[in-house]
């Protein structure tokens, strides 16, 4: 299988991820903080080390402000339902994944918040001044993606963050497509809440993610239960990270996440991104030579991550991707990509687009095989 669906989850993982998880599972996988024996302490150390690594990688304020989650969706729900109060106003965009949109729409439909959705321009970029204009006296939070999972377009989060800080509004960034693919500095970008998965560009396993909670944020816990460190307190202990981490954490997954982070740091974030965007540009060039294809999103490689979406006038996106899978052994992602608002804005609903997202192990030969397959499909 030629795997070109890394925007959904990275595959394959670095060999070091498999090795680290296997070794830890066989020798050290105990319940952290619940016992004083050596294996439990090793598990606790693994979590502590991972928090320090993430804090350094994203330039956070404190390692304890990183809460491990099931995935990015879990982190976003933790943020929204922990921060927002009845009567709050929230600003988001039409580029958002359903992990952002659905919780906010549900709160709005329940009459608990009001919601403003700022549209992107025709190239897929949000204007920070449009965000500024949408801020009102009840605005509590601006929530936006760092890069569109449909178009690959990178958003001006530093400019938006500066506006939020000036207006004393909390700023949440969904870094599902950028954590590990673009350098993210939570302090420089004035980010109060950063949510991301471990299984995409950080090259860790599924079932991992984290939420960074900056010092300006006060929130309610999303899960309550055992922490191991404080069994006497009748409600969830208020010290971080235990305040947000009720229950046994996915230590094995976090070990894999750190191994993925090791690979990313050794290879270099910018080097990996350049490799992936160059492969997308190689595909863009091939599509330009074929009749009947339309590519979406602006073409500025410096403002994109490694995802490229297109449609073909001959076949709907789901059928096109099915042919690539069944006849050519190529994995891509068709449809609405869990981001219906951007497809409505583009006029590509309900069938959506075909998304190609190479990863660090993808090659130019993979793209050439895909391009040849596209040519064969359209010449039938």
Does residue 271 have a pLDDT over 70? yes
User: Looking at residue 196, what is its pLDDT?
Assistant: 98
Phi, psi of 304 (to 5 degrees): -135, 155
User: Looking at residue 225, what is its pLDDT?
Assistant: 84
User: Looking at residue 35, what is its pLDDT?
Assistant: 72
At residue 77 the predicted structure's pLDDT band, cuts being 50, 70 and 90, is very high
Does residue 377 have a pLDDT over 70? yes
At residue 228 the predicted structure's pLDDT band, cuts being 50, 70 and 90, is low
User: Looking at residue 246, what is its pLDDT?
Assistant: 85
List the single range of 113-122, 296-305, 347-356 with lowest mean pLDDT: 296-305
User: Looking at residue 68, what is its pLDDT?
Assistant: 97
Average pLDDT over residues 288-310: 94
CA distance 54 to 213: 13
pLDDT digits (tens, 9 = 90+) for 125-178: 999 999 999 999 999 999 999 999 999 999 999 999 999 999 999 999 999 999
At residue 223 the predicted structure's pLDDT band, cuts being 50, 70 and 90, is confident
DSSP state of 24: H
How would you classify residue 203: left for phi > 0, otherwise alpha for psi between -120 and 50, otherwise beta?
A: left
Average pLDDT over residues 363-374: 98
Annotated catalytic residues are 338
List the single range of 29-33, 89-93, 200-204 with lowest mean pLDDT: 29-33
pTM: 0.95
User: Looking at residue 230, what is its pLDDT?
Assistant: 74
Domains of the chain plus CATH, in order, are 2-10+268-379 (3.90.1150.10), 15-266 (3.40.640.10)
With residue 294 as reference, give the H or E element that holds it. Answer: strand 293-296
**DSSP per residue, 57-117:** HHT-S-GGGEEEESSHHHHHHHHHHHH--TTEEEEEETT--HHHHHHHHHHHHTTSEEEEE
Average pLDDT over residues 172-200: 98
pLDDT digits (tens, 9 = 90+) for 105-119: 999 999 999 999 999
Chain centre distance of CA 365: 27
């Amino acid at each position: 299988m030629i795997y070109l669906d890394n925007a959904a989850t990275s595959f394959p993982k670095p060999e070091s991820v498999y090795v680290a998880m296997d070794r830890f599972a066989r020798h050290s996988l105990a319940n952290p903080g619940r016992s004083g024996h050596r294996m439990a302490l090793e598990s606790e150390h693994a979590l502590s080390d991972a928090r320090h690594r993430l804090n350094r990688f994203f330039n956070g304020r404190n390692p304890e402000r990183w809460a491990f989650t099931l995935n990015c969706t879990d982190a976003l729900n933790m943020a929204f339902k922990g921060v927002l109060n009845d009567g709050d106003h929230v600003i988001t965009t039409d580029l958002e994944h359903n992990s952002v949109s659905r919780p906010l729409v549900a709160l709005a439909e329940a009459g608990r918040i009001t919601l403003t959705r700022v549209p992107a321009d025709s190239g897929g970029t949000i204007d920070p001044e449009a965000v500024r204009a949408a801020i009102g006296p009840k605005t509590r939070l601006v929530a936006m993606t760092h890069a569109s999972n449909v178009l690959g377009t990178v958003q001006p989060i530093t400019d938006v963050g500066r506006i939020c800080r000036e207006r004393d509004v909390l700023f949440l960034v969904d870094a599902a497509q950028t954590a590990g693919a673009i350098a993210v500095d939570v302090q420089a970008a004035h980010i109060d809440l950063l949510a991301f998965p471990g299984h995409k560009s950080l090259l860790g396993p599924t079932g991992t993610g984290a939420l960074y909670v900056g010092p300006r944020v006060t929130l309610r816990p999303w899960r309550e239960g055992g922490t191991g460190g404080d069994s006497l307190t009748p409600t969830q202990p208020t010290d971080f990270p235990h305040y947000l981490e009720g229950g046994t954490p996915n230590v094995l997954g976090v070990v894999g996440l750190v191994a993925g982070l090791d690979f990313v740091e050794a290879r270099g974030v910018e080097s990996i991104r350049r490799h992936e965007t160059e492969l997308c540009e190689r595909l863009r060039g091939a599509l330009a030579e074929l009749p009947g294809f339309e590519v979406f999103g602006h073409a500025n490689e410096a403002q994109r991550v490694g995802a490229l979406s297109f449609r073909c006038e001959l076949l709907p996106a789901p059928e096109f991707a099915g042919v690539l899978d069944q006849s050519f052994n190529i994995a891509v992602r068709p449809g609405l990509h869990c981001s219906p608002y951007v497809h409505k804005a583009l006029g590509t609903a309900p069938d959506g687009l075909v998304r190609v997202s190479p990863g660090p192990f993808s090659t130019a030969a993979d793209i050439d095989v895909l391009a040849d397959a596209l040519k064969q499909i359209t010449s039938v």
